[in-house]
Amino acid sequence: MEEKAYKIAVIPGDGTGPEVIREGIKVLEAVGRKFNIKFNFTFFDWGGERYLKTGETIPEGGIEELKKHDAIYLGAIGHPQVKPGILEKEILLRIRFELDQYINLRPVKLYPGVWTPIKDKGPEDIDFVVVRENTEGLYAGGGGFLRKGTPYEVAIQESINTRYGVERCIRFAFEYCRKRNKKKKVTLVGKTNVLTYAWDLWYRVFEEVGKEYPDIEKDYAHVDAVCMWFIKNPEWFDVIVTDNMFGDIITDLGAIIQGGMGIAAGGNINPNGVSMFEPIGGSAPKYTGKNVINPLAAICAGMMMLEWLGEESSAKAIEKAVIKVCRDHLKSLSAGKMGYTTSEVGDLVAKYVEEGVEL
């Protein structure tokens, strides 16, 4: 069999980012041996440390370099000595925007044996995906100050919603739902009762595009109500589509019901370009360098990357290994409480990938 090869740009980033990415790469290398895939990793040292030393976030030509890869694998961005907003905007959001990764895909799936704070709900109830718009809304950077620093100061933060951006996001959600082939239901999550410009547009486009998908059930829910239903009736959901800000908020809620930041992963997707995969938990400065952080979220981000590259069977092999590690080994998914170190968890997943476990 001919060996396949992928060029992966790796941005380990700040805090525990490098530790979890190391384990993710360990697992990808195991996949490579088992499934005859070659990964060529190029490392980029972008993040807080580099910024503090050089004042530079993404160096000149950096985005162009990323474009030469098949995918990007990112650890975490955020440094306690750097004012919040700088690294996030100049690295993470800049990559999302400039590579037009217009979807932020966040699966919320509870694996067997993983603790969820929701009483009486299990893996059969918690299995949905949030499709978050990733380049517009409140994140687009529209707005400004008037009379800054005076008692009459005005701060304006605008939500930008384009017909084009909304339509491609909603279309992605329907297509994804069809391909996923589970409950065949897309729920638009918004705020039509108050934000009557943005959500009027979203609702109209949802109805219009939805007509092209007669096989898929359509539903609408207000974002505040969804926060209750994620807890009370998570089994109602299959694919959720929403804007950037609401998507940011509800996916943290989603992460906690699937077992927390130790396992939650996401993909920043440009279906026609270069996509980026990351654990969604952040840089966790207090655990840095201690070998106690859970690498499963980064490992699951690697799994999503393989899925997106079309390597479905190797992605499945990672998922089975992760499920086995959660079910048969870890005492908890939280940092420092796993009963294993970061590198031991990576070793276990890599071992089960190579052995090819059946559950």
**Window 234 to 253, contacts with ligand IPM (CB under 6 A):** 248
Told to check if 248 binds Mn ion by CB under 5 A, we report yes
Q: Residue 289 Cβ, how far from ligand IPM at the closest point, in Å? A: 21
Binding pattern for the stretch 79-118 against ligand IPM, x by CB under 6 A and - elsewhere? ---------x---xx-------------------------
Contacted by 88, from ligand IPM, Mn ion, none: CB < 5 to 8 Å by type: ligand IPM
Q: Which is nearer to ligand IPM, 112 or 141 (CB)?
A: 141
CA distance 346 to 19: 10
Q: Which is nearer to Mn ion, 26 or 96 (CB)?
A: 96
Q: Is 213 helix (H, G, I), strand (E, B) or coil?
A: coil
**Window 154 to 193, contacts with ligand IPM (CB under 6 A):** none
The DSSP code sequence of 137-150 is BGGG--EEEESTTS
Binding pattern for the stretch 207-246 against Mn ion, x by CB under 5 A and - elsewhere? ----------------------------------------
Coarse DSSP helix, strand, coil percentages of the chain, rounded to the nearest 5 percent? 40, 20, 35
Nearest residue to ligand IPM by CB is 88
Q: List all residues 6 or more positions away from 338 whose beta carbon is below 8 Å from its beta carbon.
A: 262, 292, 294, 330, 331, 332, 345
Q: Residue 102 Cβ, how far from ligand IPM at the closest point, in Å? A: 13
Looking at residue 159, what DSSP letter applies?
Answer: P
Q: List all residues 6 or more positions away from 310 whose beta carbon is below 8 Å from its beta carbon.
A: none
Whether residue 241 contacts residue 185, with contact meaning beta carbons closer than 8 Å, is answered with: no
Q: Which is nearer to ligand IPM, 269 or 280 (CB)?
A: 280
Q: Which is nearer to ligand IPM, 39 or 277 (CB)?
A: 277
What do you get for the CA distance between the two ends of the chain, in Å?
A: 27
Q: Which is nearer to Mn ion, 248 or 319 (CB)?
A: 248
Residue type (1 letter), 153: E
Contacted by 235, from ligand IPM, Mn ion, none: CB < 5 to 8 Å by type: none
Whether residue 114 contacts residue 259, with contact meaning beta carbons closer than 8 Å, is answered with: yes
Whether residue 250 contacts residue 189, with contact meaning beta carbons closer than 8 Å, is answered with: yes
Contact residues toward Mn ion (CB under 5 A) are: 248
Contact residues toward ligand IPM (CB under 6 A) are: 88, 92-93, 248, 280
